[in-house]
C-alpha cells in the first residue's frame, strides 16, 4: 500500500496521472509533460515534493557529528545556508545525495531522497551516537512544495514580505507565505531559479492553492515527476538510483568536489575515497544523432563492444534531440565514436559536456 502526500486530493482534482514512486502515490503529469517542462523553462512550475525526507540533527556537536557522518564540511556552514552533500558507505559508495540546511547554530536539517531517508536516518543515528547530537526523522512533520522557473520570485513575492532578492542560491530562511509559516529555501532540481517551501502537512493545501492563484497570470503550471525528471536531466543533475548508487563513488559521478578531504578529523568513507579519486570510467553527457531515445540501462558501445551504460535518457525539449547521461570507460571516451545499443540497433551518439542546459543569469 503506497502512501499519499497531503496534496493527493488536489492532484486528483487537477486530473493528475498518479504513479508509484518510492512507495508514494505521486503526480506523474497533470496534462502534457512537455507543456509542464516548458512552463518551468519559460514561466514557472509548481511541484509537490512531500515524499522527500527531512531529518533533524540537533545539539552542541551537531556540526561535528555531520562532519564525521557525511563527506561534506558542515560544521563551517553558516546558519541560514545550505550545502549539497552525500552520505557514503565505508568503501565510498553513495548511500544518498543530500541537501543539508543549517537552521540554527545547533540545528541542521538533512533532506534525503524518498527512497532512502529511513535508511539515512538510521545510519546518521548510528554514526553520530558518540557525539552530543540527536538525530530525529521528522519527515512526517513536513510537506514540501517547490516553485521553479524564471517567474517564481515574482509569484512568491506576491505572497510574502520575506527578502527574496537577498536570499541567495542554497540559502534558507523562516518566513510567512500567504500567512502560513514556512521555511523558504532557494534550491531546486530543475536548472532554473526557484524556491522550495517546507511547510506543515496541514497547511500544504492552503499553500498550494495560494501559490496557484498568485501564479495564474504568470504562467504557473502544476508539474509532475515526468517533467521534473527531464528538467533535472537537461540540467545535468544526478538522480539517486540512476547516476548514483552504492556501486558508484562521488568521483565516478564527476562530483569529487563535494568530498572535503581537507576538513579536520576522519569521516566515514575517507580512506576508501582517497584511493578512488581517479576512476576508470566517467559520467558523461550523450546527445543522440537520431531520434530514438537512449534509456536507463541501455549499453554504450564502441565498434560493437560494450564500453558503458546509460543511466538516464529522455527526449530533450530544449535541445530538440534525445539526451542521456552514461558511465563510459575513460579509454573509450578518449577514442570516441560511441553508440548506444537501442534495442538491438547501435545508434551513434556524441559526447558533450554536462550540463546540457544552463539558464541565462
Partner 1 sequence: MSSIPDELSYTKEHEWLAGLDDGRTVTVGVTAFAAEALGDVVFVQVPEVGATVEAGDAVGEVESTKSVSDIYAPVGGEIVETNPAVVDDPSLVNSDPYGEGWLFRIRIEGEPEDLLSAAEYATLTSGES
The contact set with partner 1 (CB under 8 A) reads: 17, 28-29, 32-34, 226, 229-230, 291-293, 295, 314-315, 343
Judged by beta carbon, residue 160 or residue 311, the one nearer partner 1 is: 311
Residue number, 81 or 292, with CB nearest to partner 1: 292
Give the residue with the Cβ less far from partner 1, 154 or 287.
287
**Least gap, CB of 291 to partner 1 (angstroms):** 5
- Which grid coordinates belong to 251? 568521483
26 contacts 2 by C-beta, under 8 angstroms:
no
User: Rounded to the nearest whole angstrom, what is the least distance from the CB of residue 218 to partner 1 in the complex?
Assistant: 23
Beta carbon of residue 60, minimum distance to partner 1 (angstroms, whole number): 47
Residue 196 CA to residue 92 CA, distance in Å, equals: 29
Rounded Cα gap, residues 92 and 98, in angstroms: 15
Residue 47 Cβ, how far from partner 1 at the closest point, in Å? 16
Supply the minimum distance, in Å, between the C-beta of residue 263 and partner 1.
40
Cβ 305 to partner 1 shortest distance, Å: 24
Nearest-angstrom CA–CA distance, 220 and 324 = 27
Smallest gap, in angstroms, from Cβ of residue 32 to partner 1?
Answer: 5
Give whichever of 85 and 226 is closer to partner 1, judged by the CB atom. Answer: 226
Residue 199 beta carbon to partner 1: minimum distance, rounded to whole angstroms: 29
Nearer to partner 1, 128 or 230 (CB): 230
Quick one: 167 or 225, whose CB is closer to partner 1? 225
- Complex with partner 1: residue 280 or 320, whichever CB lies closer: 320
* Shorter beta-carbon distance to partner 1: residue 167 or 237: 237
d(CA 18, CA 264): 46
CA Rg value for the chain: 21
CB of residue 34 to partner 1, shortest distance in Å: 5
Examine residue 355 and say whether the peptide bond preceding it is cis (omega within 30 degrees of 0): yes
Nearer CB in complex with partner 1: 2/32 = 32
Amino acid at each position: 500500500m503506497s502512501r499519499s502526500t497531503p496534496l493527493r486530493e488536489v492532484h486528483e482534482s487537477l486530473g493528475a496521472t498518479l504513479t508509484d514512486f518510492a512507495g508514494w502515490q505521486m503526480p506523474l503529469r497533470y496534462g502534457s509533460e512537455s507543456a509542464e517542462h516548458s512552463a518551468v523553462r519559460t514561466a514557472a512550475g509548481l511541484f509537490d515534493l512531500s515524499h522527500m525526507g527531512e531529518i533533524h540533527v540537533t545539539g552542541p556537536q551537531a556540526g561535528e557529528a555531520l562532519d564525521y557522518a557525511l563527506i561534506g564540511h558542515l560544521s563551517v556552514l553558516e546558519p541560514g545556508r545550505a550545502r549539497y552533500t552525500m552520505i557514503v558507505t565505508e568503501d565510498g559508495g553513495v548511500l544518498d545525495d543530500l541537501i543539508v540546511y543549517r537552521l540554527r547554530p545547533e540545528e541542521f536539517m538533512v533532506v534525503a531522497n524518498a527512497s532512502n531517508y529511513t535508511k539515512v536516518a538510521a545510519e546518521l543515528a548510528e554514526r553520530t551516537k558518540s557525539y552530543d547530537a540527536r538525530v530525529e526523522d521528522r519527515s512526517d512533520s513536513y510537506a514540501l512544495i517547490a516553485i521553479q522557473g524564471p517567474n517564481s520570485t515574482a509569484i512568491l513575492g506576491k505572497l510574502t514580505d520575506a527578502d527574496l532578492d537577498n536570499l541567495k542560491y542554497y540559502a534558507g530562511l523562516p518566513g510567512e507565505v500567504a500567512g502560513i509559516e514556512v521555511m523558504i529555501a532557494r534550491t531546486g532540481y530543475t536548472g532554473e531559479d526557484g524556491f522550495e517551501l517546507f511547510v506543515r502537512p496541514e497547511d500544504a493545501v492552503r499553500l498550494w492553492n495560494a501559490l496557484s492563484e498568485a501564479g495564474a497570470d504568470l504562467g504557473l503550471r502544476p508539474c509532475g515527476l515526468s517533467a521534473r525528471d527531464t528538467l533535472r536531466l537537461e540540467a545535468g543533475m544526478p538522480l539517486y538510483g540512476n547516476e548514483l548508487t552504492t556501486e558508484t563513488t562521488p568521483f565516478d559521478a564527476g562530483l569529487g568536489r563535494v568530498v572535503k578531504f581537507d576538513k579536520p578529523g576522519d569521516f566515514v568513507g575517507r580512506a576508501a575515497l582517497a584511493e578512488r579519486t581517479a576512476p576508470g570510467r566517467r559520467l558523461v553527457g550523450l546527445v543522440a544523432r537520431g531520434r530514438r531515445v537512449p534509456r536507463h540501462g541501455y549499453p554504450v558501445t564502441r565498434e560493437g563492444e560494450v564500453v558503458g551504460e546509460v543511466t538516464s535518457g529522455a527526449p530533450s525539449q530544449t535541445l530538440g534531440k534525445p539526451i542521456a547521461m552514461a558511465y563510459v570507460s575513460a579509454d573509450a571516451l578518449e577514442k570516441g565514436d560511441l553508440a548506444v545499443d537501442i534495442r538491438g540497433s547501435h545508434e551513434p551518439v556524441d559526447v558533450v559536456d554536462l550540463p546540457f542546459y544552463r539558464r541565462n543569469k
